[in-house]
A and B are shown apart, each in its own frame.
Chain A
């Protein structure tokens, strides 16, 4: 189960099927992102694709000697534009691939438009999602809630996205969903409708226990997206925001032109691929090693005396160039992270965040939060997030003084929106909206002993003690211990369905996070658990985008309630 490979194979097949010759890739806005997540430009150039064209660009320059590979979502607008294109074809021949199930009527519309018989192939290749990593996918939907319910378009996009993941990995799963979420249930049901309607398509030869699709709601764990992160990928996303593998560094002072926007792609950047899950300290060390090595090489290049030396240099050139690019890029990124960390006192903030997420000690935490709010260096966002975490953990604590902290926030000059967000977050993901024991209040004996041994070993890293709720759910799942009352099977097939699946696809409505992606990676590498997991979400959140989502969700729910 590898998302990136799945999409890559689809695109490779497209370029193969069209045979030799110069090619242009015709895409829409979304498929452009889908392709760019798995293929670099130079890589796809070697497959004879030289031009990229947006179907909505309105370009009319004819180039009859090119073959056109059209990779499009089967949306109404795309069908319409494509039909127009086929009536007056710009290219010699067309190989059309829709990224999802396409209605027969649309195929007919296109067939009638193809008066010049330029279409050679028309197929469905189910790469209808952003492959963020081998085990991580996103649908690029920044805001998925409409109050407590679905927006129709977003629901159907989610259904399409998840079914295309299933099809591209050849999985026909049983479905479980989070019981307290109406949205999860609705999505699960709609997906099952597609599964049964297109049952021919979902006939796969399955080895081993049938796979499972687990649909969750972000509301069950509002804590994870609020925390500051310390592993490389998650940290870059939290502090600098990764958008389709791209990180904008335009705001950094004195940055060179080519580094204004850097691409962080595990597919093309070996250094990044090896280090995206390492923590900040380790990254610093790795970068230093890398620079040392680079310096060694560049020094040896200076004394190019003999021809043999020069030859060696030229021979080493591609690696040399690649390496120098990698070094400067990551040095800049890590440098920027370090300066942000320094400027905003993030270490101290993060320590308190982790304590709030993992331990129960009201008076101590209250003091810490107060002290940090008073600290000049602490950013307004961070101060507000601390109060949010406090409000979530001590929502029902007898000494809860969220109002007092909110007053302090106001005094600090935190914007009204952020101050209001404290209440909104509790409204969004407070105890009433959760079904799991996020903070471990009703600890069973097992949990106490677990904690006991955790303390025995000592905390290895105070900044990364938090484990997302998802980890617990998945570990329980691997042992067949997930309760049906909390995560029921869809339909009454629980006796047929295995309780201990091997392949699990998790989809989180309201977005996943890179911290969860890292945890899933760890679970996948722990062979004793015996499960392989793919994580997906409507989007991949950092705290800023998450708060936007929470804000939008509640604003709409308020309007609905009126």
Chain B
């Protein structure tokens, strides 16, 4: 084989006339045409190819597979998810437990500290004297101050104290620091901090009204120049507020921030939550509506047109609501010309609007519309005709075989019985199929045919299930009903045929 391969690589030479034909197919056809008198040679030649092919395929499975790959290479699909079977979500590992264990251990220290500070703050604020000297004594009574001689350097900026950089005490922990490293905690903020959560709202209002008078009093006691300065630069405020160190302030502030963020509920949130409920409602109704719509436009009578129209109206209202509400969100706060939303806040509002419009475009705009009532009736009629035609077709086929059976078994008495019953049933039947339109009371619940009875029961169940909004069950029941109806039709037709014959 190897030698054969070698020679063929040189070209496809005809063994008789030594001409080169480029491909094997051409060579073979040439051979059959030109040298067909030489049957034996041709046969041998064909055998050689066959054997070679077989041998290669056997000796090496690669070839077969490769051929397959190349054949399939033309219809290589791009990214089609169907190629990939569903897979579970990848591995995950949670650190939440470890995290909260460390955190609570760590936070315990902070909560204890914060609580201590709050208690002290409360004590200081209670009957705080307005006279500076008395006030100092009061403050020191609550929190013992550290002996300032012990401290050479400011503990937070580690610079030395001297005439211009004087020592100050934190009113809450009593430690020493320089002026630059100290902060002023305004009295009203401090009061807010110590007040219980439930009283926050009224307290702040009260504070707001009482504060100016207090400030005024203080500025009166000082020179007028000073009071102007204090208003402009806020330098003087350290006197009216409590001098605290960075650590104490941070502890108190973070607690306050937490409290505020828990209480805060901006209007955007309220709008947004309503928007989401609308969207969720729409998402809930959409599949039902699409199913109804499809069924109705096929002319089926499983759903009532009015029902679908009501749902359509509901969806339309939802869409309008989503649109108007998201517009409101978009312009939220922009009426406030001095401080319109900007930066991330503005971006957030824009994105919410964009998401809402995308939702409307993708989910609501492309919805199929319902047929008009006249058209619906027309379609229903059409479907009934189609169904009839199909059943008749089936009947004709069935009849041939039935006829044979009948010839064998002929019992007149029994025939007559079915005839009687048929008469009744045919009447009921016409009522039944249109029952999508007839009111509940007019329906015959007591029929002598168990099938009719069953169908009526089913319809009743469906109605109840629909009222209870149990979509899944409605679906299952409807499927049952449909099967029953078809079977019933078939039987009726069969009987009619029988009676006719």
Contact = CB atoms under 8 A, between A and B. Distances in A.
B99 A6 contact: no
Contacts of B351: 45, 50-51
Contacts of A126: 90-92
A122 interface: yes
Interface string A271-293: 01111111000000000000000
A338 interface: no
Nearest to B60: A446
A267 B266 CA distance: 37
Interface string A508-522: 000000000010011
B186 interface: no
Interface in A31-85: 42, 45-46, 48, 50-51, 59, 61, 63-66
Interface residues of B, number: 80
Contact of A134 (B70, B83, B266, B365): B83
Contacts of B368: 315
Interface in B62-79: 62-66, 68-70, 72-73, 76-79
A51 B78 contact: no
Nearest to B73: A522
Interface stretch (A104-112, A244-252, A255-263, A432-440): A104-112
- Listed from nearest, the 7 A-B pairs whose CB atoms lie closest are A168-B90, A111-B102, A266-B79, A50-B351, A45-B355, A2-B84, A111-B103
B1 interface: yes
Contacts of A122: 94-96, 99
Centre residue among A117, A276, A314, A526 by max chain B CB count within 10 A = A526
B107 interface: yes
Nearest to A321: B361
Interface stretch (B37-45, B253-261, B301-309, B399-407): B253-261
A46 B359 contact: yes
A190 to B, nearest CB: 19
B9 interface: yes
B255 to A, nearest CB: 9
A66 B333 CA distance: 18
Interface in B323-377: 343-345, 347-348, 351-352, 354-355, 358-359, 361-362, 365-369
Interface in A466-518: 471, 475, 479, 518
A108 B344 contact: no
9 contacts: A50-B348, A50-B355, A110-B99, A123-B93, A170-B88, A273-B79, A449-B52, A453-B63, A526-B65
B61 A479 contact: yes
Given A122-B96, A123-B94, 11 more contacts: A10-B90, A50-B352, A108-B102, A124-B92, A168-B91, A315-B366, A318-B362, A318-B365, A449-B60, A522-B72, A522-B73
B457 interface: no
A460 interface: yes
Interface string A439-455: 00000011011111101
A169 interface: yes
Contacts of B94: 121-124
B23 interface: yes
DSSP class of B's interface residues: helix, strand, loop or mixed?
helix
Given A115-B107, A124-B95, A45 B88 contact: no
Contacts of A319: 366
B106 A112 contact: yes
Interface stretch (B158-166, B217-225, B268-276): B268-276
B83 A525 contact: yes
Nearest to A317: B365
A70 to B, nearest CB: 13
Interface of B: 1-2, 5-6, 8-9, 23-24, 52-53, 56, 59-66, 68-70, 72-73, 76-81, 83-84, 87-96, 98-103, 106-107, 110, 254, 257-258, 261, 264-266, 268-269, 272, 276, 343-345, 347-348, 351-352, 354-355, 358-359, 361-362, 365-369
A363 interface: no
Interface in A93-136: 101-102, 104, 107-108, 110-112, 114-117, 119-127, 133-134
Given A2-B84, A61-B345, A452-B5, A107 B95 contact: yes
Contacts of A65: 264-266, 268-269
A273 B76 CA distance: 11
A526 B366 contact: no
A272 B348 CA distance: 31
Contact of B90 (A63, A170, A266, A479): A170
A112 B65 contact: no
A528 interface: yes
Given A50-B355, A445-B1, A114 B79 contact: no
Contact of B103 (A66, A117, A315): A117
Contact of A5 (B8, B80, B87): B87
A449 B361 contact: no
B22 to A, nearest CB: 9
Contact of A64 (B63, B80, B261): B261
Nearest to B362: A318
B358 A45 contact: yes
A525 B72 contact: yes
B398 to A, nearest CB: 43
A277 B76 contact: yes
Contacts of A556: none
A458 interface: yes
A117 B259 CA distance: 12
Interface in A279-338: 311, 314-319
Nearest to B76: A277
Contacts of A63: 344-345, 348
A311 B372 CA distance: 15
Given A273-B78, A448-B5, A123 B92 contact: yes
Contacts of B257: 116
A555 interface: no
A204 B92 CA distance: 12
A413 interface: no
Interface string A184-205: 0000000000000000011010
B79 A276 contact: yes
Contacts of A414: none
